[in-house]
Copies of this chain bind each other. A is one copy, B any other.
Amino acid sequence: MAINRTLALVHETELARAVGERVMARLMKGSVAQLLPPRAVLFEEGTEPEMVHLVLSGRVGLVASGGTDHEAVIETFGAGSLLVVPAVILSLPYLVSGVVLTEARIMMIPAASFRRALDDEPALARAVVDMQARHWRLLIEQIKDLKLRAAPQRLAQWLLRELGAGPGTVLQLGEPKRIIARRLGMSPESLSRAIAALEEAGAIHVEGRAITVVGRRALEMAAGGMTNTRG
């Protein structure tokens, strides 16, 4: 049962579609799938990469401690994502750790065989270019948020982006708020207050892990620039 399910999931990934049957089969040779519980660590900041991780289900976060006391969540990824290829490609130590957030099925591809495939399978290189391009844009957006928007604006911006993916007005949070707070570059307390502010403004309504956008217009205003005085 596990094998069937895993293979099906592998097939559904964007990577599989992009590189085709043969290359995917080659990548799978020597790879293993694992079902991991929350808090499992896939790889650790500062260590040399030995595997490439393909997320088949669940959610995984890139977490950085960087020598300081607390941790930052850089980004979280869901099914279909190929994790932290840069470290593998360059054979350099990871800059972040990979942590399972919700029970996740992970395909682990040996780094050496991934690098070899990258060199002699043009389709793989081409697919990786596209993936990296998309990931780059995620980070750029995030840096823009961090450098020129205040905490409540960042939340509003994030909500709009998450919403953009699905056309509904209800957003089911897939991660604890603590994780989202750190992803947004703020403390959990500040996230609480930012959420309260958006409710106050009539932009959203929150019930536990479900956020309903009741005023898309108000939400866009809050994301824009007018949050809490001080132009």
Tell me the A residues contacting B by CB distance below 8 Å: 46, 64-72, 74, 85-87, 89-90, 92-93, 95-96, 118-119, 122, 125-126, 128-130, 132-137, 139-149, 182, 185, 224-226, 228, 230-231
Contact = CB atoms under 8 A, between A and B. Distances in A.
Contacts of A93: 228
27 contacts: A46-B226, A64-B140, A64-B144, A65-B148, A66-B145, A66-B226, A67-B226, A68-B148, A69-B231, A72-B143, A72-B147, A74-B140, A74-B147, A86-B136, A86-B137, A90-B130, A92-B137, A92-B231, A96-B144, A125-B125, A128-B129, A132-B132, A139-B140, A139-B143, A142-B143, A143-B146, A147-B185
A32 B153 CA distance: 41
A89 B130 contact: yes
A90 B132 contact: no
Given A126-B125, A147-B185, A133 B86 contact: yes
Given A64-B143, A90-B137, 18 more contacts: A46-B226, A46-B228, A64-B144, A66-B145, A67-B226, A72-B148, A74-B140, A86-B137, A89-B130, A92-B137, A125-B125, A129-B132, A132-B133, A136-B136, A139-B139, A139-B143, A143-B146, A147-B185
Nearest to A153: B68
Given A89-B130, A133-B86, A72 B144 contact: yes
Interface of A is mostly: helix
Contacts of A228: 46, 92-93, 95
Contact of A225 (B67, B132, B133): B67
A119 B127 CA distance: 10
A90 B134 CA distance: 8
Contacts of A148: 64-66, 68, 70-72
